[in-house]
Amino acid sequence: MSQKNFSRKNSLLKEIDFYLVTDSRLSKKGTLSDVKEAVESGCKIVQYREKDKSTKVMIEEASEIKKICSGKAIFLVNDRIDIALAVDADGVHIGQDDMPLETARRLLGEDKIIGLSVHDREEAILAEKAGADYVGLGPIFDTATKKDAGEGIGLLKLREVKAAIRIPVVAIGGINRGNCESVVQNGADSLVAISAVVCSDDVKKETEYFIDTIRRIKRQISDNL
Amino acid sequence: MSQKNFSRKNSLLKEIDFYLVTDSRLSKKGTLSDVKEAVESGCKIVQYREKDKSTKVMIEEASEIKKICSGKAIFLVNDRIDIALAVDADGVHIGQDDMPLETARRLLGEDKIIGLSVHDREEAILAEKAGADYVGLGPIFDTATKKDAGEGIGLLKLREVKAAIRIPVVAIGGINRGNCESVVQNGADSLVAISAVVCSDDVKKETEYFIDTIRRIKRQISDNL
Ligand code: NI
């Protein structure tokens, strides 16, 4: 990887606060509308997560999302390296049941962003060592959205993970207006709140709320340092 | 593409007769066992088709299948270009709802085999023009295996397709011991008979039956020319 692109990838990731993950099953207005509204509200990272559609439709949607994000937000594809390659996304987000990180890195190259889902400190340390550009840590709280996700790990574990690695920590799982401040106070660099946003009647307003809150807490933290 | 690899790809495809498509839902003994038995019986092309498993498990299975096929059979992956790239398969088989052929070709390169599912003469001609290495034509007969596949197109349409293109025609859909001779007599270069093989108690015996029958009919045809 060129030093230039390494820097670019990392400075882009330093800028993220609210992190949008699409969910066509939960969405009120549809994935493309959700992405458009979130990016218009200043969301700087979008992950296209789709499990039920054909590869053809996923490539069409990913291609539209790429246009919406272009120059404004990082655009990642969940799991499907083929979709990411087909539309030349900025990278992928993979889980522990997806392609191994080493294989994904080989196919995507050093300049693409790869985020990895982790559930504890050990997995987070391994992810950083293996070359992940950020980790998605969760579920922080119990969640109804992803029933197979297990019980929430809590804010203490979030602090532990944040203390153990240098790459950004994106918190996910059961996060809403009520608890998002505590998530940032306990070390999250960014957070996902799927149902709070895509189930809302006003994706723009919700996205703005989360962005404002995350930035406010981050300012408080840096003022206290 | 090098002329050498073009020749290699095409001479490999000229050798195929019975074509195995895996189906973990229908299989009696499991996909890896089916592939092993079919390849031991002389099957020269295997397509790994899996819709329900995680990417991680698919890569693990595809990696095992690649080993079994190595030096003996062409190994293709259905739909998932990411899985094919991860294990360096010989190519992919894509349907009309999968990645566009042009995109798949760009990601895989000229040396990989790309087969495309088609349903009529027009789609077959377009597939050949777009650079498909073979077409999968079907459903030839009505089929219970793939309920969304529609009604069988019949043997006359198979003849029409065979007359219209130069790349190999692989017949699929409702093919069994009873009708497989007619399929080859009407122009199929190769054929798939999923349930006839993977639902059987003896995958080896069934594969041998189809290979023997296809070769016998092909010899009869070339003797009559
Ligand atoms: Ni570079």
Indicate the number of domains in chain A. Answer: 1
What is the C-alpha separation between A93 and A101, in angstroms, rounded? 10
Of B211, B208, B203, nearest to B35 by C-alpha is B203
The per-residue pLDDT for A128 is 98
Please check whether residue A47 is in contact with residue A22, taking contact to mean a CB–CB distance below 8 angstroms.
yes
Q: Is pLDDT above 50 for B58? A: yes
The confidence band for A145, taking pLDDT boundaries of 50, 70 and 90, is: low
Q: How confident is the model at residue B1 (pLDDT cuts 50, 70, 90)?
A: very low
How many Cα atoms within 13 Å fall on the side-chain side of residue B69? 28
Q: Per the domain annotation, does A103 fall within a domain?
A: yes
**Residue B149: what pLDDT?**
61
Q: How far apart are CA A82 and CA A69, in angstroms?
A: 19
Question: Is A211 part of a structural domain of the chain?
Answer: yes
Q: What is the mean pLDDT of residues B28-55?
A: 97
What one-character DSSP code corresponds to residue B18?
A: B
- Residues of chain B neighbouring A82 (CB-CB closer than 8 A): 80-82, 85, 99, 107
Give me chain A's average pLDDT, please.
94
B54/A98 touch (CB, cutoff 8 Å), yes or no: yes
| Cβ neighbours for A171, distance < 8 A, ≥ 6 positions apart | A137, A138, A140, A158, A183, A188, A190, A191, A192
Ligand 1 centroid–CA A75 distance in Å is: 19
**Residue-wise pLDDT tens digits, A9-49:** 989 999 999 999 999 999 999 999 999 999 999 999 999 99
Ligand 1 centroid to residue A95 C-alpha, Å: 24
Distance A29 CA to ligand 1 centre (A): 38
**Cross-chain residue pair B56–A103, CB shorter than 8 Å:** no
CATH number at residue A174: 3.20.20.70
In A77-96, the residues whose Cβ lies within 8 Å of chain B are 79-82, 85-86, 94, 96
Span A148-197, pLDDT tens digits? 667 899 999 999 999 999 999 999 999 999 999 999 999 999 999 999 99
Question: Distance (Å, rounded) from C-alpha B82 to C-alpha A103?
Answer: 10
Structure tokens at B149: 């596949």
Is the pLDDT confidence value at B202 over 90?
yes
Let me know if residue A146 belongs to a domain. Answer: no
pLDDT at B7: 79
Residues of A designated catalytic: 49, 117, 146
Which residue range forms the structural domain that includes residue A41? 3-114+169-224
Distance in angstroms (rounded) separating the CA atoms of residues A191 and A175: 8
Enumerate the residues of chain B whose CB falls inside 8 A of the CB of residue A55.
79-80, 94, 97-99
